[in-house]
A and B are shown apart, each in its own frame.
Chain A
Amino acid sequence: MSSNRAPNKTVASNDRHGQEPSIDLSASPADEIKCTTCYMCACRCGIKVYLKNGKVRYIEGNRDHPVNKGVLCGKGSAGIMQHYAPSRLRAPLKRVGPRGSGEFKEISWEEALETASGWLGDIRKTDPRKLAFFTGRDQSQALTGWWCIQYGTPNFAAHGGFCSVNMAAAGLYTFGGSFWEFGEPDWDHTKYLMLFGVAEDHASNPIKIGLGKLKKRGAKVLAINPVRTGYGAIADEWLGLTPGTDGIFVGALIHELLRTQQVDLDYLVRYTNAPWLVIKNPGGDDDGLFARNDEGRPLAFDKATQSFVDAELADLKPALSGTFTLPDGRTAVPSFELLASRYLTAEYSPERAAKETGISADTIRRIAGELAEVAFKEEVVLDIPWTDWAGRRHDKMIGRPISMHAMRGISAHSNGFHTCRMIHVLQILLGTIDCPGGFRYKPPYPKPIPPPLKPHGKPDQVRASEPLGGPHLGFPTGPEDLLIGPDCKPTRIDKAFSWDAPLAAHGLMHMVITNAANADPYPIDLLFMYMANMSWNSSMNTSGVMEHLTAKDEATGEYKIPKIIYSDAYYSEMVPYADLILPDTTYLERWDCISLLDRPISDPDAAADAIRHPVVEPDRNVRGFQSVLIDLGARIGLPGFVNNDGSPKYPGGYSDYIVNHERAPGVGPLAGWRGKDGSQIHVGDPNPDQLNRYIENGGFFVDHFPDELRYHKHVNKGYLDYAAKSGWLPKDARLTFQLYNETFQRFRLAAKGKGSCPPPETHRKRIETFFDPLPFWYAPFEGTMVDTDKFPLYAITQRPMHMYHSWGSQNAWLRQITARNRLYIHTGRALELGLKDDDWIWISSNIGRVKCQIRTVEGVNRNTVWTWNALGKRSGAWGLDNDAPEATEGFLLNHLISELLPKRDGGYRFSNSDPVTGQAAWYDLRVAIEKAKPDEAGETSPRFEPLQSPINVETPEVLAFGTSFQEANR
């Protein structure tokens, strides 16, 4: 019996000859291939769409595209199922049942547009504030924002406020660029990458391409993250620190670098405000502000000439420490002395940091040593001559090859702004901004620090039937820029740019529904939303938000938010809460524009923008939202949307607008092929053939910089001139990194009662504390306000690489990969709690509880539990059966996250956000977990009434996509 082995019988080849079936090795995969831009997520990769028999056969990455260089991610490669999803909305809808039920009636576009323009027009004529227009995963903010400016409401923002405004603001107030998608590590030269709290990010493919390069080159990747998955899994080192403690970890690294005297002083002198003198006048009006000369220029003390000079002059030998008496008798110290003194205290010692972070002091010291080693002993030198802002010629580009990238692990905490700024300080002390091997700007960044844009929406800027006069979002530099009334009351519905969140550069979308329902600061008439699943995964306190959306005024029986218009392309959980639905197309069916005026797709070495164009025709009664918005603008006669005779200015819809709209003379949405003959870039007349030129070029435009412009952009004359010509920077700008930030001191002085505009009593202490001009670490709010003995665990989420928020679950392929989520908990911790793999448990926070199943793992901080984001679905949504695992076993942590903090002393409830920027503090959540009773196992909680579906499409029991291509292949 020993030979009962499958016989691996081989046969001489001539025996087999001719036996193999003949197969077509060269079947034509496409009748036509069209290049456009992916929108399975916001990374916006270039794609080639294979079309066969009028159907999408395959989607592949475009090798020439600056973003993805040919590769494609797990979502992008499942685009077919996104495009053909049965959950697609099919026609405009009018609500007929109660809000939230999902009972709708299909109506014509004419009726939909007339209804919408009726509502919009009435409000504009009376009180434009009563319109709140908020957009989610919007890639056309340049249009939606501009539309709202013309409309005149102050209430506009996109999703940045709940996403990562902490990153944007911290960077823009410090070095004129930012993490997020506005810069990236120098993947080709960096030798040491620190990744703080990144699971996926917007640069989904670029980060993966980059990590692949680093790993192959043997550069060290250090992942700092309570959770070890994805990027952390392949990192050379993983530091599973306690959530919300990155600030003190970075502070301790700074402490060590200073203590061991390893910082790039030269770089500090040349590129930062380290030498700028700060006035020391405790109790005075000018305390903590920069000493300035008569022209308002900041001063430094030049040791060469022993005099006070304009701190931004070239070739100074300024003092970085010491106390100086200014000519006018006031006392001042270089800002660097304040900075170094702060971080050299015991508060930032490795030992103290070890206590908070759970990372040993030895490890912190070792990491600091590694940073110093790589920065100062392994510099990268490129043989590229360049000229700096002062006209000095350098024959080489020299870099300290340490790069950092950080995202929501930092930003989604109430201390995220300061933590992110601290990371930038670390980068700057090491001298690694926009140098070979460092962190690089993507054009049009860098911008002036901060960008010279002020928010609009002050009481006198909002008038019936009038445009707003300027952009909604901007960068205040003092209390006078706040959008508040004389009573200090916020003028915006989300309280952005008020004392609640003075630097809310992206608004606070997460507060709009709650505030509107509470009429705090005032009620609104119409909530208009686009591409945001606000009744589900993009809200905090989801259950509460659903109640707000359906809350009625007891006296009148009317909804507290009287009207809601929403544009979605799919039957998401938000759709049933709207009164009027404007159904959008899929990304393969519409025109779009990925503009440099917006969130661009540039590469550090090139400016780039792109389009989407309809590669297939819609088979439903749907329209591209941007075209609809332009149509609405024309119907209500918004300036800029109509000609003098009242006729629509862009009758061709969005594609017409993309080509012909000019923001400033010669500056339009697209930078490529401008001018009548298409010969100009960035600035030039509209070119009627522009879109064809984009299509011919694969859907994008890219302008590669000459080598000389590639690095040191903030001080590189060649680049600064290019940026000025392109309209990105004022002429002759040179940017000085702001380690010490004066803007903050202005707010702080106001809190101390200085100046004309002090914050209300309830806010004073908060402003004084958190508007520290130097970044500092403090414990995230929730942990300081709830009983942490009762809620000992931190709870966070991560993005799955193959799902985009809520919209991946309707995809027949992606949902097979993950149709439900679990709560991950440390094996040892689970043991302590008497839990084992697969147990069903309750997670509770101070506002509610959620039931789910656990999985134990080693790769997580012991005090942290986590889950994949946005996998839980509501029954009835997304074209899924009511008993889909997403609804029965999937869950959201959002039910546990409060949008408001518990009452402070004064009885006021601040939003659960960063006190500086208003960034939603998703990851401050504290929870407890306990085992569910045996009879509770098996199903998630909470569950809601299944939604009725207005889409009358039978979902197939078997999907055999590709059958129709079968014939063609044989």
Chain B
Amino acid sequence: MTCLPETTNKKLGLVIDLDICVGCQACATSCKEWNTGGYSAPLSDIDPYGADPHGAWLNRIHGYEVGEGDASRTVHFPRSCLHCETPACVTVCPTGASYKREEDGIVLVNPDTCIGCKLCSWACPYGAREYDSNHGVMKKCTLCVDRIYNEHLEERDRIPACVRACPTGARHYGDLGDPDSDVSKLVAERQGYDLMPELGYKPTNKYLPPRPRRDGTTATNQPAVEQPAPATGTTIENFFAWADKMLST
């Protein structure tokens, strides 16, 4: 099972637009809420009301600052499993609990056979696997596999919880294996990229880069339209002369 399928019929994944993400955490909590009662149930929380609250989350949002001074930027960066095409997290798994679905490329953990050895989390460069110490098994983003095909949900709601919640529309979901899909087109148009391509895991999820800013560092300094050469008088007089002229025509 931990052998990877040669190909998958689809490459379902997420596209995350760093140009729009405001770091609101909606995708993180919505993910937690859906998944704590879903396929990954529960996503345990340790010391939830105490000194050291922490738990299993499948999606986490970082806040970064990049660059210095005027050129610096603040970027919010959501991070979850990228459903890699050739991920070592699957191949290292000794039990077969980790697997990549042939049908759609989703990488899953079977909570019934996982022994909680955590090796897969060591093999994931993206820090996307989260061990649930209370449940004793590994958890990870399931791409909401129990939503996207769920016939109890309206068709338009058969998308991941995080995408469904995201208020800015920074998250997109679709088949990245199909060059004609909306997500593939978006990636092409906005130069979506892979995280750590050098490692060869071939992430399915793509990130869209923040667009260049349009501020003093980039704007062509468009000068304000200059006032017509004053014949005589002060700015105030000229202004009223102009106003008067405008209103008389």
Given contacts A9-B4, A10-B3, A885-B51, contact A373 B222 (CB under 8 A): yes
Q: A504 at interface (Cβ–Cβ under 8 A)?
A: no
Q: B112 at interface (Cβ–Cβ under 8 A)?
A: yes
Contact present for B3 and A16 (CB under 8 Å): yes
Q: Which residues of B contact A368 (CB under 8 A)?
A: 224
Q: B198 at interface (Cβ–Cβ under 8 A)?
A: no
Minimum CB–CB distance for A766 against chain B, Å? 29
Q: How far is the CA of A317 from the CA of B43 in the complex (A)?
A: 70
- Return the contact of A817 from the options B25, B123, B216 (Cβ within 8 A): B25
Minimum CB–CB distance for B143 against chain A, Å? 12
Q: B165 at interface (Cβ–Cβ under 8 A)?
A: yes
Contact present for B167 and A958 (CB under 8 Å): no
Minimum CB–CB distance for B158 against chain A, Å? 10
Q: Which residues of B contact A238 (CB under 8 A)?
A: 215
Q: How far is the CA of A512 from the CA of B243 in the complex (A)?
A: 50
Given contacts A13-B6, A220-B214, A368-B224, contact A215 B20 (CB under 8 A): yes
Q: Which residues of A contact B69 (CB under 8 A)?
A: 858
Q: How far is the CA of A23 from the CA of B38 in the complex (A)?
A: 12
Q: Which residues of B contact A369 (CB under 8 A)?
A: 222-225
Contact present for B49 and A955 (CB under 8 Å): yes
Q: B73 at interface (Cβ–Cβ under 8 A)?
A: yes
Minimum CB–CB distance for A707 against chain B, Å? 25
| Binary flags per residue of B224-241, CB closer than 8 Å to A gives 1, else 0 | 111110000001100110
Contact present for A13 and B49 (CB under 8 Å): no
* Majority-rule SS of B interface residues: loop
Given contacts A209-B169, A233-B75, A962-B41, contact A260 B29 (CB under 8 A): no
Max chain A C-beta neighbours (<10 A), residue from B96, B112, B242: B242
Max chain B C-beta neighbours (<10 A), residue from A60, A204, A814, A816: A816
Q: How far is the CA of A54 from the CA of B84 in the complex (A)?
A: 38
Contact present for B38 and A344 (CB under 8 Å): no
Q: A313 at interface (Cβ–Cβ under 8 A)?
A: no
Q: How far is the CA of A204 from the CA of B136 in the complex (A)?
A: 38
Q: A314 at interface (Cβ–Cβ under 8 A)?
A: no
Contact present for B166 and A71 (CB under 8 Å): yes
Q: Which residues of B contact A907 (CB under 8 A)?
A: none
Q: B206 at interface (Cβ–Cβ under 8 A)?
A: no
Q: Which residues of A contact B6 (CB under 8 A)?
A: 10-13
Q: Which residues of A contact B101 (CB under 8 A)?
A: 20
Given contacts A16-B5, A265-B247, A858-B68, contact A881 B74 (CB under 8 A): no
- Return the contact of A71 from the options B26, B34, B123, B224 (Cβ within 8 A): B26
- Return the contact of B72 from the options A23, A61, A265, A858 (Cβ within 8 A): A858
Q: B138 at interface (Cβ–Cβ under 8 A)?
A: no
Contact present for A86 and B49 (CB under 8 Å): yes
Interface stretch (choices A26-34, A599-607, A691-699): A26-34
Minimum CB–CB distance for B201 against chain A, Å? 9
Contact present for A212 and B74 (CB under 8 Å): no
Q: B213 at interface (Cβ–Cβ under 8 A)?
A: yes
Minimum CB–CB distance for B58 against chain A, Å? 12
Q: Which residues of A contact B129 (CB under 8 A)?
A: none
A-B pair count, CB < 8 Å, reads 343
Q: How far is the CA of A24 from the CA of B145 in the complex (A)?
A: 9
Q: Which residues of B contact A20 (CB under 8 A)?
A: 1, 99, 101-102
Contact present for A21 and B146 (CB under 8 Å): no
Q: How far is the CA of A883 from the CA of B3 in the complex (A)?
A: 47
| Binary flags per residue of A239-269, CB closer than 8 Å to B gives 1, else 0 | 0000000000000000010111110010001
Contact present for B146 and A969 (CB under 8 Å): yes
Contacting B at CB under 8 A, from A798-832, are 801-802, 810, 812-817, 819
Q: Find the A residue at minimum CB distance from B55.
A: A816
Contacting A at CB under 8 A, from B1-21, are 1, 3-7, 19-21
Contact present for B145 and A25 (CB under 8 Å): yes
Q: How far is the CA of A21 from the CA of B108 in the complex (A)?
A: 10
Q: Which residues of A contact B209 (CB under 8 A)?
A: none
Q: B117 at interface (Cβ–Cβ under 8 A)?
A: no
Given contacts A58-B34, A258-B239, contact A265 B55 (CB under 8 A): no
Given contacts A27-B146, A880-B49, A956-B48, contact A234 B91 (CB under 8 A): no
Interface stretch (choices A74-82, A539-547, A550-558): A74-82
Q: Which residues of B contact A12 (CB under 8 A)?
A: 6
Interface stretch (choices A169-177, A223-231, A471-479, A652-660): A223-231
The 3 closest A-B pairs by CB, nearest first: A74-B25, A208-B167, A962-B36
- Supply 12 A–B pairs (Cβ within 8 Å), ascending by A: A23-B145, A52-B37, A72-B167, A74-B29, A80-B33, A233-B74, A317-B248, A340-B236, A340-B239, A369-B222, A965-B38, A965-B41
Chain B positions near chain A (C-beta within 8 angstroms): 1, 3-7, 19-26, 28-30, 32-39, 41-55, 57, 63, 65, 67-69, 72-76, 86-88, 91-92, 96, 99, 101-102, 108, 110, 112-113, 123, 134-135, 145-146, 149-153, 156-157, 161, 164-170, 200, 210, 213-216, 219, 221-228, 235-236, 239-240, 242-244, 246-248
Chain A positions near chain B (C-beta within 8 angstroms): 6-13, 15-16, 19-21, 23-30, 52, 57-61, 63, 68, 70-80, 86, 204-205, 208-209, 211-213, 215-216, 220, 228-234, 236-238, 256, 258-262, 265, 269, 303, 317-322, 336-337, 340-341, 344, 360, 362-363, 365-366, 368-370, 372-373, 801-802, 810, 812-817, 819, 857-859, 879-881, 883-885, 888, 955-963, 965-966, 969
* A10-B6, A232-B74, A265-B247 given; 9 more Cβ-contact pairs under 8 Å: A9-B4, A11-B5, A13-B102, A73-B165, A74-B29, A233-B75, A237-B215, A369-B224, A817-B29
